Amino acid sequence: MKEPVRPDPLAAAQRVKDLARDLARDLAQDVADGYRKSTRFFRLRAAVVGTWFCLSALTLWLACPSSGNALGAEVTVSFEDPLQTYVLVANTSADIWTDVILTLDGEWSYEKKTVRDGERIVVATAKFTRDGAAAAGDMKPKTLTIRCEQGKVTTRLATR
């Protein structure tokens, strides 16, 4: 029994691409012809509507809050316990961070293999080390750097 003849997928894709290009060219030509034949009043209305659309899009883009940093990290520090300071790091992104290194004030580091999306970790400053020595429990850190395979972000620590 003979195998049915199958069309070449590359040739079919090229035909679709050519058809889409021709359709876009025809549509652009029709719009250009219509614009050339239009009245001055219509052109001014089109300019006003186009300007309004651009300003609206710009306003929405500026008004929407960003994630705050490239990793989508939320960081807080707590000085509520007089003997111990705690750093809270939350992964609010949809990605899992791998090979995570938290660094306080550029010196003291804490390593964690993974931080899953939505996970919150609380680390006491005494868990941070430098050259094998632990940091003071009542340390008042100023910055925290989160470094992982997905990126790096440095944030100033605000007290809560």
Domain boundaries, the chain: 9-63, 73-156
Q: Mean pLDDT per segment of 10 residues, for the chain of length 160 residues?
A: 80 91 94 89 92 93 70 81 87 91 92 93 91 86 91 79
Rounded-to-integer distance, Cα 23 and Cα 21, Å: 5
pLDDT at position 76 is 84
Spatial contact of 125 and 104, defined as CB atoms under 8 Å apart: yes
CATH topology of domain 73-156: Immunoglobulin-like (2.60.40)
Rounded-to-integer distance, Cα 154 and Cα 75, Å: 10
Cα distances (angstroms) measured from residue 26 to each of 20, 69, 159: 10, 44, 61
Note the pTM of the prediction, 2 decimals: 0.56
Rounded-to-integer distance, Cα 124 and Cα 7, Å: 65
pLDDT at position 68 is 61
pLDDT at position 67 is 52
Q: For residue 140, give the nearest of 74, 77, 98 by alpha carbon.
A: 77
